[in-house]
Each structure stands twice: as C-alpha cells, then as structure tokens.
Structure 1
Amino acid sequence: MRSAFDFTPFRRSAVGFDRLFDMLESSAASGAGENYPPFDLIRTSEHEYRIELAVAGFRRDEIEITSHQNVLIIRGRKGEESSADYIHRGIATRSFERRFALADHVNVTGAALADGMLALTLTREIPEAMKPRRIEIGGAASAPQHDRIEAKAEPATEERSPESV
C-alpha cells in the first residue's frame, strides 16, 4: 500500500536515507487505524524515555517484549477463554502487536507491569567514539619550527685569481 506522500524524488537525491524513507512509508501504511492498546510516550530526561501501554487484563506471561535492529515489538496474547457466561464484555482482551522504531543507540533498559500499565524505560547510550571531544590548542613553546623565520647571512665569496693559489 502506498502512502499519500511520494518519497521518490527524495530517494534520488538523498544518499543513505533509505531506512528513514522506508520507516515513513511503513508507518503511514500500517499506522492507519492502529490504536490498540493506547500508549503514552514520555521524555524523562535528555537521554531517557518511557513508554506506557494500557494492557488491562493481561498477565506478565501473556506479554512478550522484543527489541531487534532498532525496532521494539510488544505483543500480547491472551490465554484460553474462561467458561464464564458473559452478559456484556467491554474489556478488550484481543491479541495485539505494537511496534516502535528506535533511533540508533537507544536501548530498552527496563520493563514493569503494575495496575494494568506496562512501563518500558529506554535510554540513549552514545558510544565514546561518537561523542564530541574538545581539542586543545598548544602554546607558543610547541609552535612548529617552520613558522619561525631566521635570516642567516651568507658569507661573501671572494674571487681568487689563479696566481694566488
């Protein structure tokens, strides 16, 4: 299914952004009408986030959380139906699958289930090699030698006559 926006002109001129365009197209195609279970996305600090999903009626063993290649997948599958004779069933207990695209270096660091809310903690951990670092400028003592210009007087050459030898 194609999205309402065509990314083809951008794909031709942007090198290395294929994954971004694929994510935008797939989220536009699969995101239409997908709203179960409801969730909140909260920024708790500069490098920490929390996702809270309303999973009322699901037990710990009925929820599966998987993180693989920058995609967080949360699945809920209900066990066997009870033999209760329901007059009205208003609590949604259908199976679900929620996908979240994670940025590079974002890892799931914790998960907790309490009072029908599943809370996932995510942390952005930037490797040392990718962090900005300050480069110190050396002082005058360490200035390169080619910057100093010293004039040396060359001795004048005398012309000798062959008789003086």
Structure 2
Amino acid sequence: MNRITPFASPLLLGFDAMEKTLERLAKANDGYPPYNIERLQANAAGDPERLRITVAVAGFSEHELDVTTEENQLVIRGKQSEQADRDFLYRGIAARQFQRMFVLADGMQVAGATLRNGLLSVDLIRPEPARMVRKINISVSE
C-alpha cells in the first residue's frame, strides 16, 4: 500500500528533503525538556529579527549539553552520566538524555547560547532576505 503525503503534489518540486525532516522531528521531540520560543525586541531600527529559544535543562552542566546546527536544523542534546558512587534512598530525578530539534528557515543564524539558572537560551537572528527577481530567457526552436 502506497502512502500519499502532502508533498507528493506535482506542484511541490524538491520538497522531499523537507518531508524527511518533518518525519524526523515528529519522532525526535517527545515533549522533554519543555521550551519557550520568544521574539525579542529590536535594539535599533533596521536590526534583523531576533528569536530566543529557552530550554529547561535543570541538572545539566554546560559540559553535558551540546548545541549544533545540522542541515538547517538546530539540534540541542543533553546527556547526563550516571554516578555509580552515589547511594540513593529515593530517586525521583533520573539522569536522562534528550535531543530537541528545531527546523531553521533559510538564512537563520545562531548568534549564541547561554546557560543560566537551569535554562539554556539560544539566540537566533533572521536577516531580512534580499528580494530577487530573475528573468528567464525563452529560446525558440524550430
């Protein structure tokens, strides 16, 4: 049985990579850790739009977190190591790993990341895209 997807339309050419990205995102993001996305006020007129992704990573140190960009995706990974020398009477906080992915539009740039009070903030800049109109010459064949 063939699966028909929204990107199977003959009018959407070259979007197969986006479809694969969306499928990967649906599998990778399970709701942990929680996050916010906010639009930041521009510092001055003409500054590019800025966004901030804030992820709740309480219990993770900067050495246990990894922020990378891979093929127009922002990937935030966290991996805590088990400490064998600890003897818990009760364990309600599990050492857990996560991977959170965000698809970035073309031109989006990561300005930096900071870790403060258990919150990892990743700042993004979206420069204003240049409008391009290109004339395509039509050749006549007889």
TM interval, shorter chain, is 0.7 to 0.9
Aligned to 2:59: 57
Q: Tell whether the 8 Å contact from 2:81 to 2:95 is kept in structure 1 after alignment.
A: no
The alignment's TM-score, normalised by the length of structure 2, stands at 0.74
Matches within 5 A, 1:15-54: 15-28=13-26, 30=27, 34-45=30-41, 47-54=49-56
CA positional deviation for 1:100: 1.1
Q: Report sequence identity in percent.
A: 37
Aligned to 1:100: 102
The alignment's TM-score, normalised by the length of structure 1, stands at 0.64
Counterpart CA distance in 2 for 1:27 and 1:78 is 22
Aligned to 2:111: 109
Q: Tell whether the 8 Å contact from 1:50 to 1:122 is kept in structure 2 after alignment.
A: yes
Q: Tell whether the 8 Å contact from 2:7 to 2:19 is kept in structure 1 after alignment.
A: no
Counterpart CA distance in 1 for 2:7 and 2:82 is 47
Which structure is higher in helix share?
1
CA positional deviation for 1:113: 0.4
Counterpart CA distance in 2 for 1:76 and 1:83 is 21
Gaps of 5+ in 1: 133-165
Aligned to 2:76: 74
Counterpart CA distance in 2 for 1:117 and 1:53 is 6
Counterpart CA distance in 2 for 1:97 and 1:109 is 20
Q: Which amino acid aligns with 1:43?
A: R
Q: Tell whether the 8 Å contact from 2:38 to 2:52 is kept in structure 1 after alignment.
A: yes
Comparing 17-26 with 55-64, which one deviates more in the overlay? 17-26
Q: Whose radius of gyration is greater, 1 or 2?
A: 1
Cα separation, partners in 2 of 1:92 and 1:103, compared to 1, 3 Å:
farther
Counterpart CA distance in 2 for 1:15 and 1:8 is 8
Counterpart CA distance in 2 for 1:85 and 1:21 is 46
Counterpart CA distance in 2 for 1:31 and 1:44 is 27
Gaps of 5+ in 2: 42-47, 133-142
Cα separation, partners in 2 of 1:91 and 1:48, compared to 1, 3 Å:
same
Cα separation, partners in 2 of 1:124 and 1:13, compared to 1, 3 Å:
same
Query: Which 4+ residue blocks in structure 1 deviate beyond 6 angstroms?
Result: none
If asked which structure has higher relative contact order (CA below 8 Å, sep 6+), I would say: 2
The aligned length equals: 125
